């Protein structure tokens, strides 16, 4: 398959509307709608959810952008600082997003002390697979975060990059996010009445970052020879995966 689509969906004068931005916004919107339904079902406060959503969106974007800059292209952005704010062109790191979300959620809890730690977090992660999935579709339209060279029959040649046939790793992660959403929603539907606080956060962290670790084997990222030939993404996935296991299997559950 030859992939050479223009990443810009519409030109409105000097304004460019990119597929990436459309998919990004759609993913957040759908995740919010899912979370809203779950909040209603759990009889929690929708106004609190709306306030929390503002914190999380800011944390997501800032964390994802800084994560990409620091973890992957620090030298480039130091040389081109005017591009730091151009998030609509791509360049967001999921691990940075996770850190940004945790920090913003912590700030929210600090300012809203009556909210229990996992009260909303266990709901938010249920819909998180949707933006994970759709953002990767945006990466595919941007011809970025592509995979390693391969001769597999479903290989894609990103003509805007080079003429080599590569793993469409963005589509792998698109499917990964969709599967993750189905798993999370199914498990939540069947177990939310009896699950302990923090179970769904732990379940999400464990499943998502295990998937993310695996898909990195197909991405065109440099390996760290001093760290078992792992990619940066794999190294960053391990701490989150371990945190997920701790949340899943810790015994001293309290009403958090």
Q: Which residue has 């990443």 as its token pair?
A: 7
Pairwise CA distance, residues 213 & 210, whole Å: 5
DSSP 147: B
Q: Is the pLDDT of residue 48 over 90?
A: yes
Tell me the mean pLDDT in the region 57-72.
88
Pairwise CA distance, residues 74 & 64, whole Å: 14
Per-residue model confidence (pLDDT) at position 169:
95
Per-residue model confidence (pLDDT) at position 13:
82
207-218 tens-digit pLDDT: 999 999 999 999
Per-residue model confidence (pLDDT) at position 88:
62
Q: Where are the domains of the chain?
A: 2-249
Give exposure, 219-248, as e/b (b: 16+ Cβ within 10 Å): bebeeeeeeeebbbbbbbbeebbebbeebb
Per-residue model confidence (pLDDT) at position 145:
87
102-122 tens-digit pLDDT: 999 999 999 999 999 999 999
Is 67 within 8 Å of 100 (Cβ atoms)?
Answer: yes
Q: Is the pLDDT of residue 202 over 90?
A: yes
Is 233 within 8 Å of 212 (Cβ atoms)?
Answer: yes
């Amino acid at each position: 398959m030859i992939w050479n689509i223009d990443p810009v969906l519409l030109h409105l004068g000097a304004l460019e509307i990119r597929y990436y931005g459309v998919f990004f916004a759609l993913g957040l919107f759908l995740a919010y709608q899912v979370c809203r339904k779950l909040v209603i079902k759990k009889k929690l406060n929708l106004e609190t959810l709306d306030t929390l959503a503002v914190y999380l969106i800011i944390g997501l974007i800032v964390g994802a952008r800084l994560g990409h800059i620091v973890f992957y292209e620090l030298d480039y952005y130091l040389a081109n600082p005017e591009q730091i704010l151009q998030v609509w062109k791509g360049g967001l790191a999921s691990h940075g997003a996770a850190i940004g979300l945790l920090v913003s959620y912590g700030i929210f809890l600090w300012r809203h002390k009556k909210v229990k730690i996992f009260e909303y977090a266990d709901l938010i992660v249920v819909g998180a697979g949707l933006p994970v999935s759709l953002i990767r579709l945006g990466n595919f339209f941007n011809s970025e975060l592509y995979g390693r060279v391969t001769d597999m029959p479903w290989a894609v040649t990103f003509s805007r990059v080079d003429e080599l046939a590569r793993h469409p790793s963005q589509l792998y992660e698109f499917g990964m996010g969709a599967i993750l959403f189905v798993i999370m929603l199914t498990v939540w539907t069947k177990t939310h009445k009896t699950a302990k606080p923090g179970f769904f956060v732990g379940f999400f962290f464990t499943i998502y970052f295990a998937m993310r670790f695996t898909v990195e084997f197909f991405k065109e990222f440099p390996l760290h020879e001093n760290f078992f030939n792992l990619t940066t993404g794999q190294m960053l996935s391990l701490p989150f995966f371990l945190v997920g296991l701790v949340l899943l299997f810790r015994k001293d559950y309290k009403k958090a």
